[in-house]
């Protein structure tokens, strides 16, 4: 089974109206589906450009922007729901900070399905910025999602740097992990990139990263954005020698496309030069209980 994926290097805009946002997202999605992409990936916190629709006293405040963004949450969900259905594709819409009834926030990554349904993965491992300044809390559940192309998992940015999360999803049947990311330093970008490549190597699976890019000086939350979108693979027979199927130009606004040959995942796990996926449990022989 083969499917084309599109992963975005997405710029944070200063918007004048909700219609501007709708038009922007429609153009991005249209461009991807014209290239026959069936899975589309947007970055973590790309939705924060919506804060520019509010007065300066709101978009310049970390606390106030989170609160006011909730007034646009339903529109956000409806927009991507409609686009996934209209174009018969799967859209991972990056993340949106969602306020729960308890008053706590979650960094929520929605996956929209072609049939109009949707589900989400909340970020599980929170960064210092989220913990100490933004007070966004960790999610409580690790998921996999059934699609026409097999099970798909989501690791939100920092989650990709923790191998046991991805391993649990792979053991649940996922062969593709989507990683929406948002990093404000080159080092941060490389941490996530290295995590993605390591997850693809050790699980012999596809891992796809989508970052925010460019400068949005008006925003305290996403003012500097550094990264390159990429599709990472196993490093073995039938895959690129460097484990990179496609990669964008650093900090350029663009889609990055790649064909995923999902049937080759099972093959490399059975016939590869090495058996990273199969040999994972053997590590436990060398680890003494503390």
For residue range 27-79, what is the model confidence (pLDDT) as tens digits? 999 999 999 999 999 999 999 999 999 999 999 998 999 999 999 999 999 99
Query: Is 258 part of a structural domain of the chain?
Result: yes
The reply to whether 232 falls in a domain is yes
CA 170 to CA 172: how far, in whole Å? 5
**Range of the structural domain that residue 266 is part of:** 2-277
Mean pLDDT, all residues of the chain: 96
For 200-257, write each residue's pLDDT tens digit. Answer: 999 999 999 999 999 999 998 999 999 999 999 999 999 999 999 999 999 999 999 9
Which CATH number goes with the domain that contains 101? 3.60.110.10
Residues 6+ apart with CB under 8 A from 240: 233
Q: How many residues does the chain have?
A: 290
* DSSP SS3 for 253: coil
Q: Give yes or no for residue 143 having a pLDDT over 70.
A: yes
| 35 domain residue, yes or no | yes
Distance of alpha carbon 90 from the chain centroid: 13
Per DSSP, helices labelled H in 104-262 are 128, 163-171, 186-203
The pLDDT assigned to 288 comes to: 67
Determine whether 157 is an active site residue.
yes
Exactly one of 44, 49, 130, 161 is catalytic; name it.
Answer: 44
pLDDT recorded at residue 220: 86
| Structural domain total, the chain | 1
83-116 in b/e form (b: 16+ CB < 10 A) is bbbebebbbbbbbbbbeeeeeebbbbbbbbbbee
Grouping H, G, I as helix, E, B as strand and the rest as coil, residue 166 is helix
Confidence of residue 285 (pLDDT cuts 50, 70, 90): confident
* 32 domain residue, yes or no: yes
- Please check whether residue 24 lies inside any domain of the structure: yes
Q: Say if 110 falls within a structural domain.
A: yes
Q: Where are the beta strands (DSSP E) in 65-117?
A: 90-99, 105-112
pLDDT at 96 > cutoff 80: yes
Q: How confident is the model over 267-278, as pLDDT tens digits? A: 999 999 999 999
Question: pLDDT value at position 134?
Answer: 87
Let me know if residue 214 belongs to a domain.
yes
From 89, 123, 144, 205, active-site residue: 123
Residue 285 included in any domain: no
**Catalytic annotation, pick one of 49, 89, 130, 157:** 157
């Amino acid at each position: 089974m083969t499917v084309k994926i599109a992963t975005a290097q997405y710029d944070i805009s200063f918007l004048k109206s909700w219609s501007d946002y709708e038009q922007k997202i429609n153009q991005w999605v249209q461009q991807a589906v014209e290239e026959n992409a069936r899975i589309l990936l947007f970055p973590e916190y790309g939705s924060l450009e919506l804060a520019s629709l509010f007065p300066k006293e709101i978009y310049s405040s970390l606390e106030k922007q989170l609160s006011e963004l909730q007034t646009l949450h339903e529109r956000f969900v409806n927009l991507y729901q409609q686009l996934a259905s209209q174009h018969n594709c799967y859209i991972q819409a990056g993340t949106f900070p969602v306020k729960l009834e308890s008053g706590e926030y979650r960094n929520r990554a929605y996956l929209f399905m072609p049939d109009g349904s949707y589900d989400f993965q909340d970020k599980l491992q929170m960064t210092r910025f989220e913990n100490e300044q933004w007070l966004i809390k960790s999610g409580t559940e690790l998921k996999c999602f059934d699609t026409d192309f097999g099970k798909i998992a989501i690791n939100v940015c920092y989650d990709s740097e923790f191998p046991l999360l991805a391993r649990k999803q792979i053991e649940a049947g996922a062969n593709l992990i989507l990683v929406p990311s948002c990093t404000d330093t080159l080092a941060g970008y490389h941490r996530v990139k290295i995590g993605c490549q390591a997850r693809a190597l050790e699980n012999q699976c596809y891992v796809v990263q989508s970052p925010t890019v460019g400068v949005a000086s008006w925003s305290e939350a996403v003012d500097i954005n550094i990264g390159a979108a990429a599709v990472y693979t196993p490093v073995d027979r039938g895959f690129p020698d460097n484990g990179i199927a496609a990669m964008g130009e650093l900090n350029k606004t663009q889609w990055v496309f790649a064909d995923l040959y999902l049937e080759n995942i099972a093959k490399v796990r059975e016939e590869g030069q090495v058996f990273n996926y199969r040999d994972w449990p053997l590590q436990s022989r060398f680890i003494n209980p503390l």
